[in-house]
Amino acid sequence: MIDIKKIFSKKDSVENKAEVASEVKVDKPTASARKSKFHLKVNKDALKKLKLVVVAYSHVEREFFPTEDAYNAEVEVEERAKDVVDRLVSLGINTKAMPGDRYFLTNLLVDKPDIVLNLVDTLRGKDNLQTSVPAALELSNLPYTGAQMEGLVIGNNRNITKRMLMAYGIPTPNFQFIRRVGTAVKDEMGLPLIVKLNESGGSVGINNTAVKETLREAQKQVEKMISTYKIPVIVEQFIDGPEITAVVFDDGSKKHVFLAQKIFRKKPDGKHYFTSIESYDDARAYTYKHVEEPLRTKVEQLTVRAFKGLCHKDYAKFDIRVAEETNIPYFTDSNPNTAFGPDMGLPFTEVLALHGVTFDQVLLSLLSKYARYIK
């Protein structure tokens, strides 16, 4: 049985905030940032109804992925799922982890959980198959967290995402979608350029030399990535300037937006600041600081518009580059079911901590949002 008094005791709240402050490396908040307060809605009575929560995660095997980097980018999800289970159990909620494998739906129908926390990123190593999870849950009438099929289709395809952003009047860098080896990179996009996989999350394929200064270098990268990963790519104009991480959390009453600017320790290629896959192994690669006005309000409004327009649900993360000369915020990437867990190395959790919001608070708010419909 859930111990509501324990979960919501004032003492625990203070201790959690102190623990977060000691773990996350961020700049000292400014006066305007300290005044900002977020109150996530939590239905305490609804939480008492929970009998079983299942945390679903990607079943990952090395043979599913074309490269070691792609495999390593996904293999962490099992440990992350266990961390989420541990947090829920510590809060008195009966929880179990379940891999998204061939027996997934059968096991769910046997256990009949009240809610499924959907952390499945890939099925058999393919991002585009993850839409099968919400489809199966919808057919089985099982409540689940995170984006529905439409949101995952859009959010995990950079070409569709960028076209949708343009349709909603949200700035995104000039880009070209390339499906086949031999397709010429257009010269009107503007240099420098960065090449990204169209259907893969994270920084897979983006190493320390990912930003290309010439069309010839970009063309070689396009050929290499399509040949290696066997999926289309996006060639995108690289925007020099500050990088902002925007996190959205919808508690059922309000879409809360949490912003943080990355302060990089060094330039991976000696010329530009950006997040490369190598930087994932460097705990000091960057820190976060608050985004100040007037940029903060402008980005918040665009972020909510993007969240709605891209059909995201519950929570999401956006990567934004702000042009140095024009101060225009360009939305470069969308992550509808971004990495979700208590680990302070996760951007979602770290940005929340910068604003004084703990992972436990988000977890309970998310579950109670769905638990209130349990009869």
pLDDT in tens, 103-136: 899 999 999 999 999 999 877 767 667 888 999 9
pLDDT digits (tens, 9 = 90+) for 323-344: 999 999 999 999 999 999 999 9
| Least reliable range by pLDDT among 7-16, 177-186, 324-333 | 7-16
Give residue 19's identity as a one-letter amino acid code.
E
- What is the per-residue pLDDT for 34? 44
Does residue 72 sit in helix, strand or coil? helix
- What is the per-residue pLDDT for 12? 37
190 in any annotated domain: yes
Q: How far apart are CA 217 and CA 211, in angstroms?
A: 9
Identify whether the C-beta of residue 253 lies closer than 8 Å to the C-beta of residue 272.
no
**Within 10 A of 126 (CB to CB), how many other CB atoms are there?**
14
133 in any annotated domain: no
Identify whether the C-beta of residue 189 lies closer than 8 Å to the C-beta of residue 176.
yes
Q: What is the mean pLDDT of the chain?
A: 87
- What is the per-residue pLDDT for 201? 65
123 in any annotated domain: no
pLDDT digits (tens, 9 = 90+) for 345-372: 899 999 999 999 999 999 999 999 999 9
- What is the per-residue pLDDT for 203? 72
**Cα-Cα-Cα-Cα dihedral sign, residues 209, 211, 213, 215:** positive
Domain that holds residue 224: 172-237
37 in any annotated domain: no
186 in any annotated domain: yes
223, 227, 232, 234: CA torsion to nearest 10: -40
Closest C-alpha to 40, from 371, 368, 361: 361
- What is the per-residue pLDDT for 125? 65
> Percentage of the chain with pLDDT > 70?
89
- What is the per-residue pLDDT for 143? 96
Which residue has better confidence, 78 or 256? Answer: 256
248 in any annotated domain: no
Mean pLDDT for the stretch of residues 261-287: 86
CATH number for the domain spanning 205: value is 3.30.1490
Confidence of residue 29 (pLDDT cuts 50, 70, 90): very low
Q: How far apart are CA 150 and CA 160, in angstroms?
A: 11
Question: In whole angstroms, what separates CA 332 from the centre of its chain?
Answer: 13
179 in any annotated domain: yes
213 in any annotated domain: yes
Q: How many domains, the chain?
A: 1
Confidence of residue 74 (pLDDT cuts 50, 70, 90): confident
Mean pLDDT for the stretch of residues 219-245: 96
